[in-house]
Structure 1
Amino acid sequence: MSDALVIGAGPAGLMAAEALAAAGWRVVICEARPSPARKFLMAGKSGLNLTKDEPFDAFIQHYDADWLRPMLKAFGPTEVTDWARGLGQEVFCGSTGRVFPKAMKASPLLRAWLGRLGAAGVELRTRWRWAGFEGDRFAFDTPGGQQVLYPKVAVLALGGASWARLGSDAAWVPHLAEKGVTIAPFKPANMGFRVDWSPHMERHFGQPVKGTALIAGALVERGEFVLSARGIEGGGVYAVSRVVRDGAALTLDLLPDRSLEDLMTRLAKGRGKETVANWLRKALRLDPIRIALLQEWGRPLPQGEALARLIKALPVRHAGPRPMDEAISVAGGIARDALSDDLELNALPGVFAAGEMLDWEAPTGGYLLTACLATGWWAGTAAANTR
């Protein structure tokens, strides 16, 4: 018998294990994959965004679940920054308030974290895949055959339903559903959108689109995005993806710093013998990729005032979200009413849950990781207090 069991070795699970070990519990972490925190490492390849340095009232507005408030208050941006520094990782804050480790990658931080957990007596067992319950015990498929554990407390941190190849495959859903735990349906979050491009767009694939504003409902986002053979993706798109997924129309303001009146004046003379591309480049200083988007989604191009209005509100012709397994995160998971305020499962006393298993949603930019760490700490601390 282990004192405490944590299933899942991503950020939420490791943080839960840290909280339990700090309270004196003997902790075993079981991870289905050959190594821990694979999604965390992948996310950090292009720069590990730990959190966002901004006032708490602004920070919490980025979450769709207000019940996370006490958890994020207890373990928010300041605590995440201090935690990283405590692992010997110096951090810096970018111009947008995003906080990164100076090393930029996730691997140095993870190595230091695993070292600290090991020194605290936490045991990590890899290739141990949770196979469900045997009565009130936890069954695992392991390289040595099926094993059964009977912990005093358990924290589940098995991830959501995106990036299955890295471990977040939602295989845990039937195990909890059969115990009466309510699971909200999964939906992709922070995802790109499919676009059926014309052949002339191929030369722009892989290029960033800069200097635009993405408008969806009441949201206006000035972030960049990228064109790919599959569609549109990137930070600017992810920031508006939730409302677009849920039915809001998406438009582009190709020149957000120019007024409609200014554009009308600049376009009033017409293009004469110029090609459309040259005319727009000279009259408005539009770059080739924005001209290509205008021609792709605005054809046939109107003239005069109508063209100016199209430039300020170009409809994005997409074919819906990319598949859920390509999404950075998901909405859905264990429903709030299935949990106590301590993140204990009402149907399974002594079993807690954390991270992307829970039904909440937030944009990229440090918000996802902060909530995973915060809920892991909250669940681990609550589990430790059940003695």
Structure 2
Amino acid sequence: MTDVLIIGAGPAGLFAAEQLSAKGLEVTVADKMPSPARKFLMAGRGGLNLTHSEDIDVFLGRYREARNFLDPMIRAFSPNDLRDWCHSLGEETFVGSSGRVFPKSMKASPLLRAWLRRLDQRGVKLLTRHTFTGLTAEGAALLKPEGGEPKTFPCRALLLALGGASWPRLGSDAAWTPALEEHQINISRFQPSNCGFLVAWSEILKDRFAGTPLKRIALSLDGSQCSGEALLSAKGIEGGAVYALSAELREKINSNGSAELLIDLRPAMSIDTVRQKLSRPRRKQSISTFLKKALKLNPVEQALLREVGPLPEDPEGLAARIKALPVLCSAPYDIDRAISSAGGIALGDIDDGLMLRAQPGVFVAGEMLDWEAPTGGYLLQACFATGRQAAIGIQNYLSNIVEGERA
């Protein structure tokens, strides 16, 4: 019997293993993939965004409905604490122009290698190719080795850090959901988050502009707004600015069947400035040439203006379209294309130490819990913070058992 069995070798599980092994506990980490932290490595391919440097109250507001749940955990393990932890592994960090925090190497692999060395030095055992198949009536884990039959792995405490439902080929496929529902654990259905959205573009726009970026734009939906960039694809619209509004877009679609996203093609200009520029004499210029010279509207922006219908002839109507171009989104992209997922174990089903109320001795952490966050470092920060909180909960649980046995 091991002291703690952790199932899921992502950031939440590995960080909990680090915290627990530092206390002298015997820890085993199991994962169904051939190697640990597959999704963590994928996140680092374009530059590992660890966390964000903004004010902590603004930071916590990014978690929307889950803010109250995550607030004490993230204050206890803050973005600065996460940076200090990276430094302790020999990976220096820096703050980018957007406020996002990255390791100086910009990669996940050097950090992960140093992390795994630390865990190995502390005696943490890693079992790969072991799939979680359920819990016994007593709350013990059932693990199926590749090519073998499921068997019980005894432990004094169990932590599940199995991830959400995005990027299933990297291990997060939510296949654990039925196994926990059998034990009366309430789980909200998983939905895509930080994803693109389907739009019924015309064939002309798809043929000419699929894969074209939209730069320095602003998107808005029902009062929520985000500036940044987006990308047109053959099936819709995606990119950083879209991801920032993905929760609002998804919920609007769930309620109404579709959502009208508004694109401001010239957010740096007021509508009055745009109108004045459009009021200049056009003379013999074509409308395309005029728009290019007056507002530097490029071909893809002009094509988007025409997607809605014929261009208004009056400056006021044309300015209104440029500043609030409607794009009808019908559905999010499939969850296997999403950066993260929404949904998971109901927060009311776990206590302050992240132990399942219905299963004493079984703890949960990371993206399998019902919270979501935009990209920008918020996802990883919460995974680390919940992993740490679960480790504290496990320490307290095991201490109480020892004290009970002594009594």
Q: Distance in 1 between matches of 2:21 and 2:236?
A: 45
Q: Match for residue 75 of structure 1?
A: 77
Q: Distance in 1 between matches of 2:137 and 2:273?
A: 71
- Cα offset, 1:200, TM superposition: 2.6
Whether the 8 Å CA contact 2:260–2:328 is kept in 1: the answer is no
Q: CA RMSD in A?
A: 1.4
Matched, 1:85 2:67: no
Q: Distance in 2 between matches of 1:135 and 1:320?
A: 40
Q: Distance in 2 between matches of 1:295 and 1:271?
A: 19
- Cα offset, 1:364, TM superposition: 0.4
Q: Distance in 2 between matches of 1:87 and 1:132?
A: 35
Segment drifting more, 121-130 vs 301-310 = 301-310
**Structure 1 stretches of 4+ moved >6 Å:** none
Provide structure 1 residue ranges, at least 5 long, that are not aligned to the other structure.
none
Q: Match for residue 36 of structure 1?
A: 36
3-state SS of paired residue (2:59): helix
The code of the aligned residue for 2:90 comes to G
- Per-residue CA deviations over 1:251-294 (Å, capped at 9, x if unaligned) read 01111111212222222246444333212101111122222222
Superposed, 1:326-345 pairs within 5 Å as 326-345=337-356
Q: Match for residue 373 of structure 1?
A: 384
Q: Match for residue 27 of structure 1?
A: 27
* Selected match of 1:300 from 298, 305, 310: 310
Q: Match for residue 127 of structure 1?
A: 129
Q: Distance in 2 between matches of 1:197 and 1:166?
A: 31
Q: Match for residue 152 of structure 2?
A: 148
- Per-residue CA deviations over 1:318-360 (Å, capped at 9, x if unaligned) read 2221112211111110001100011100011011100000001
Matched, 1:277 2:277: no
Whether the 8 Å CA contact 2:73–2:389 is kept in 1: the answer is yes
Provide structure 2 residue ranges, at least 5 long, that are not aligned to the other structure.
253-258, 399-407
Q: Distance in 2 between matches of 1:184 and 1:336?
A: 10
The code of the aligned residue for 1:18 comes to E
Q: Match for residue 4 of structure 1?
A: 4
Give TM-score scaled by structure 2 length. 0.92
Q: Distance in 1 between matches of 2:123 and 2:6?
A: 14
Q: Match for residue 212 of structure 1?
A: 217
Superposed, 1:217-296 pairs within 5 Å as 217-247=222-252, 249-269=260-280, 271-296=282-307
Superposed, 1:154-165 pairs within 5 Å as 154-165=158-169
- Cα offset, 1:76, TM superposition: 1.6
The code of the aligned residue for 1:373 comes to F
- Cα offset, 1:382, TM superposition: 1.3
3-state SS of paired residue (2:267): coil
Q: Match for residue 193 of structure 1?
A: 197
Are residues 319 and 144 of structure 1, via their aligned partners in 2, closer, same or farther at CA, if it must alter by over 3 Å? closer
Whether the 8 Å CA contact 1:130–1:138 is kept in 2: the answer is yes
- Cα offset, 1:135, TM superposition: 3.1
3-state SS of paired residue (1:6): strand
- Cα offset, 1:372, TM superposition: 0.5
- Per-residue CA deviations over 1:109-131 (Å, capped at 9, x if unaligned) read 11111111111100110000011
